[in-house]
Structure 1
């Protein structure tokens, strides 16, 4: 079962790509990180741009096994996202997806939804 990825081998190129993504977030990812970092959301610990298997997750709370993805229009009806979500769900993760515009324009609503999902896990 997938736990903290520090305990699982991850391809070096994937770790490097995740590191690069942490240094160059999208505007929506940067905004979400400001809201989640340092246990700012009800003391839940989140990590960002976490490589797991062959995927990089935008944000993950391992305690509650909740993955948060911040998506743009390229993710509408994405087959790759559906396959990834199924693989993560089989490992006990729930996936919450939010549009970039929602994170930037309605952050309070997004945080309320995340809190509800965390409470339900």
Structure 2
């Protein structure tokens, strides 16, 4: 009743269809239609995943994904012990990007990183020290184990992680609110 072509008297103008993605000539849609590039939605196949993403630049997320798909034997074994909140009810994640680095295992809520190092890390001690300094400067605690420790003494490794979780660092006095020290 209240419909006039392209207009509803009660609700106002009706939405118009978007032009098809592809090379339809502009004249097929009329002179009053804005150019295809002016439409708010991307064309089919659009720009998903393309173009600069400044909030992700410098983060090694693709490499972390590849490392999660190809764990070492020691990482696989330790993950079975860490996953599903089995240690102190704390959630761990595998291959977590932290700044420009990738942590083998990270408990974000506790700011604890667990690293499992193979023989190649013996030759890269200076790199690992710098990496640890960076992570600690970001507020993380870092503990390291050799592959052979994880493979040969998993119970001892798990106990060490439990102790590290129990030894939460005391908060810095500058972060405490006034009056909260004495209750």
TM-score (norm 2): 0.59
Tell me, yes or no, if the aligned pair for 2:98 and 2:135 is still in contact at 8 Å.
no
What corresponds to 1:28 in structure 2? 74
Offset at residue 13 of structure 1 (A): 7.0
Work out the number of aligned pairs and report it: 113
Extract structure 1 runs of 4+ deviating beyond 2 A.
9-13
Structure with higher RCO (Cα < 8 A, 6+ apart): 1
Task: Give 5+ residue unaligned stretches, structure 2.
Answer: 1-54, 169-183
Task: Give 5+ residue unaligned stretches, structure 1.
Answer: 1-8
SS of residue in 2 equivalent to 1:45: coil
d(CA) in 2 for partners of 1:110, 1:46: 15
Higher-Rg structure is 2
d(CA) in 1 for partners of 2:57, 2:167: 33
Q: Which has the higher helix share?
A: 1
What corresponds to 1:5 in structure 2? none
What corresponds to 1:79 in structure 2? 126
TM-score (norm 1): 0.88
What corresponds to 2:148 in structure 1? 101
SS of residue in 1 equivalent to 2:61: helix
